[in-house]
Amino acid sequence: MLFNNQQTMNTSTIEERFEFGNIWHSNIFIPEIGHGKFFVTLGAINDIVYGFFYINSKINFNVNRHMEQAFLQIPISNTDYSFLTKETSYISCARIEELNKTKLIESISRGETQWKAKLKQEHIDIICQKVNKSSLYSRRIKRQLFGYV
């Protein structure tokens, strides 16, 4: 179910959107990054939202110097996600970040953060497979956020 008007979403509906694989766009990262970003959420546990697998228009040259990080760049196409402006973009799965759930809900209420889409199952499967093979993440993180034992 798509929500075109973020203001009509109640808190429980918003929290459902924090589940694994949802794509958002937000301006709350402007102080750190300098511009709005698309990102993927991985889920929420208690008062923390996990994720922030950023979607980038290109792979940073520093990432390509580290094989493990380069392995965790997942290509996606604007034919699958029409809101992307580049033909090919990359989900960077090389780092998990945390954000206080209340802060994210408030930014949604102010219109600074908007839900865009759910990742296609094929992209979710690729992310899960690559993260499971990666040595960048602990067994605990893999179990909590990705369901691996």
**Predicted TM-score (pTM) of this structure:** 0.86
Tokens of 132: 């499971």
**What would the pLDDT profile of 37-74 be if each residue is shown by its tens digit?**
999 999 999 999 999 999 999 998 888 889 999 999 99
**What would the pLDDT profile of 13-44 be if each residue is shown by its tens digit?**
787 789 999 999 999 877 777 789 999 999 99
**What would the pLDDT profile of 84-131 be if each residue is shown by its tens digit?**
999 999 999 999 999 999 999 999 999 999 999 999 999 999 999 999
How high is the pLDDT of residue 58?
94
Q: For residue 69, what is the DSSP state?
A: H
Taking the alpha carbons of 127, 128, 133, 136 in that order, is the dihedral positive or negative?
positive
How high is the pLDDT of residue 5?
46
Q: What DSSP string describes 79-142?
A: TT-TT--SSEEEEE-S--EEEEHHHHHHHHHTTSEEEEEEPPHHHHHHHHHHHHH-SSS-HHHH
Distances (CA, A) of 32 to 13, 23, 26, 27, 110: 28, 20, 12, 10, 19
Separation of alpha carbons 98 and 100, rounded Å: 7
Length of the chain as a residue count? 149
Collect all residues with Cβ–Cβ distance below 8 Å to 88 and sequence separation of at least 6.
75, 76, 77, 78
